[in-house]
Amino acid sequence: MAKDVNPPRGNRDFLPLEKQKREQVLGVIVDTYRAHGFQQIEAPVMEDLARLTSGQGGDNEKLAFRVMKRGEELSRAIAANGDINPDEEAGADNLADLGLRYDLTVPLTRYYATNFSKLPKVFKAIQAGPVFRAERPQKGRYRQFVQCDIDIIGDNSELAEIELLNASLDALAAIGLADATIRVNHRALLTANIQALGVGEADAGSAMITIDKLDKLGIQGVVAEMNDKFGGAVAAMTGQWLHNIADSTEIPEVLANIFSLVGAVHADKLRFDPTLVRGMGYYTGSIFEIEHPGSGSSIGGGGRYDGMVGRWLGTDVPAVGISIGFERAVDLVGDELGAEAPGLVLVIDDEPAAIAAGLRLQAQLIATGEEQVRLERRPKKLNLLLENLAGHGFGRFAFVSADSASVADLEIKSI
């Protein structure tokens, strides 16, 4: 029986042209953010497990990959906990001290606390890189995937939200997703609305979980679940509230400036949605979710999280961020963005003088701006070689002999 040579479940291989497209799309996003004054940083993919599971990551904490202790530390942990079940979360945590990051926000709060004395007073950060979650693999859900975040730490004014939304809409337009829009809400408004339904403060989180299902369940489904949780009176109020807001377009005062100033640059790209929840419990103010008509799910989101940085720094620092869900966004981008000028194959005679000429001409072509110049020895069946390379981004070729002295001597042909 042949061995399984597929990547681990929930992980993917990317062929050269796929990788080329991904890198170019990510590069356009990052370059757009840099043009808006954000600065790119890099933090480790591993953090202390205690920090990743400190209650700031919401349900994602349950999906953190644990990294076992090593060497003598592992031996001591096993000796001290010999009767534990490592398959259970508590048991696994006794044998682990690190975890792979499941998002970029929790590590950013640690990064800021570590480096804040060296950073600008208002820090505008870009992060782009892989995150890891122990998901049940399914369509659109992976165990390793890329996130692309921008965050502003140290600014408690609306300007921070305005900058994030404006830069994100510019980045989405730059990769060809100009049809994207952003739903906006505010946690204070959401909390007040839930309390007005008759839900107590202790049950507000449970009510938010139900309201967050509106897109999937519809109004009647949400009302039914609220009835099961809180009784008929709350369910009736919920139904009335949802029907009333379906026809409302009024922007609340707390969000008015954000809508006005972003709308002056990106008209009709923001939509107030009083039912928007965003699942993370750390949000303290405005919240956002990016949507696109070509996707059945959100392609990003974020919000204000003023209470997180202070957990590590010892003093509260305002913070707000937004993330583009790169995997969903890149699937929506047309192949033309990832297309570069077709690569050039220099077919070389198999003799030292021709190889030397090929190396010299390759250097000259690269110096003139050619993206890809590949050297290949002349095979017996040239057409098979060229057909294969044509499927990997190479669209031109030229023969090189010992007599090829300069680029002008090359007869470049299309494959």
Residues 176 and 206 reside in one and the same domain: yes
Q: For residue 7, is it within any domain?
A: no
pLDDT in tens, 149-198: 999 999 999 999 999 999 999 999 999 999 999 999 999 999 999 999 99
> 382 forms bridges with which residues in the sheet?
none
Residues 104 and 142 reside in one and the same domain: yes
Q: For residue 1, is it within any domain?
A: no
> What residue numbers bound the domain in which 388 lies?
341-414
| 346/398 Cα distance (integer angstroms) | 5
Residues 318 and 362 reside in one and the same domain: no
Residues 327 and 275 reside in one and the same domain: yes
Chosen domain end from 301, 335, 369 = 335
The two three-digit tokens of residue 314, written as one number: 């010892």
Residues 323 and 388 reside in one and the same domain: no
Number of domains in the chain: 2
Tell me, what CATH number does 408's domain have? Answer: 3.40.50.800
Tell me, what CATH number does 264's domain have? Answer: 3.30.930.10
pLDDT in tens, 318-365: 999 999 999 999 999 987 665 567 899 999 988 999 999 999 999 999
Do residues 272 and 246 make contact, with C-beta atoms less than 8 angstroms apart? no
Q: For residue 289, is it within any domain?
A: yes
Chosen domain end from 335, 367, 391 = 335
Residues 298 and 394 reside in one and the same domain: no
Q: For residue 166, is it within any domain?
A: yes
Chosen domain end from 298, 318, 335 = 335
Tens digit of pLDDT at every position of the chain (415 positions): 557 788 988 999 999 889 989 999 999 999 999 999 999 999 999 999 999 988 777 778 888 999 888 888 888 888 777 655 555 555 667 888 999 999 999 999 999 999 999 999 999 999 999 999 998 877 778 999 999 999 999 999 999 999 999 999 999 999 999 999 999 999 999 999 999 999 988 888 889 889 988 888 889 999 999 999 989 999 999 999 998 886 666 899 999 999 999 999 999 999 999 999 887 678 899 999 999 999 888 999 999 999 888 888 888 999 999 999 999 999 999 876 655 678 999 999 889 999 999 999 999 999 998 889 999 999 999 999 999 999 888 999 999 999 998 999 899 999 9
